[in-house]
Structure 1
Amino acid sequence: MEINCKDMATGVIFLGFAGSYGYMSLQTMSVGTATQMGPGYFPAVLSGCLAITGLAVIAQSLRGDAETPWGIVPWRAIFCLSAATIAFAALADDLGMLPATFLTSFIACLASPRIGIGQNILTSLCIAGFCSAVFGAALGVPLPLFGELFRQ
């Protein structure tokens, strides 16, 4: 039997993330029930879905389809998207929702070499405005529009 190593590796990575994310959410948050959902309910369900997807990908890899080439690792995208997530987590309280979302979107847009600086700025402004309106005004997320750095 031939195994598609690329699909197998992908499935194992999915299972690893599902297991670690599920374990952390189940250990640190109460799950509750379907009618009285706790803060850990959605992460637990999401982990289960990711585990099922990982198992399906592993099963697909055992079919013995032709091996596909690994290709080039998109290091720029991996770095930029990771940095954007870390930047939002680190700066949201100090900068506030609008500037932190703008910065996060700006860094994320740098992942694509096809997006120019003007398009990046316009996209980031639109995303920041939309997220601030939806999460701040409509949903009432307790993150101020502008943080402590802008109040001094």
Structure 2
Amino acid sequence: MTGKTHIMAGIAATTAIVAITDAYQPEWFIAAGAAGGLLPDICHSGSKIGRRFPAVSKIVNSLFGHRTFTHSLLFLALLAFILSKFVSNSSITTGILVGMATHLLLDATTKQGIKLLYPAKITIRFPVTTRTGGKVEGILLLVLTVVTLYYANSMIGLF
């Protein structure tokens, strides 16, 4: 999936959670969801986040490769632990983790899949897959945008 789809998935998920629950600091939660949607791709130098932090991306990629460690439950748990120790704002921590979870879910819909159980070399992918940047991803991006607008409207009543 492309960066814009990962960002929108993080925004859609966190906006829905804010609308359904009484989330603390919703603006931080949603912004963190967008950032978390990009974070697992730090392992790919051509990604939005990889281009922003090229040295980190190169190091992570040389150590682990693409869609392995940073696309795993181990990375998600490690980041949850690190964030809990260094970030006092639970909205930011939870938003990042929700965004990361959407990233993993989306990348599991691609033919390449992910190493969700890293360091196990098992590739996890859904039975029906799609191509990154293809028509299905464009439709998904539109659906995620509509979901975001729907839940944002229920929060602030624009429409």
Which TM-score applies when normalising by structure 1?
0.26
TM-score relative to the length of structure 2: 0.25
Higher relative contact order (CA 8 A, sep 6+): 2
Larger Rg: 1
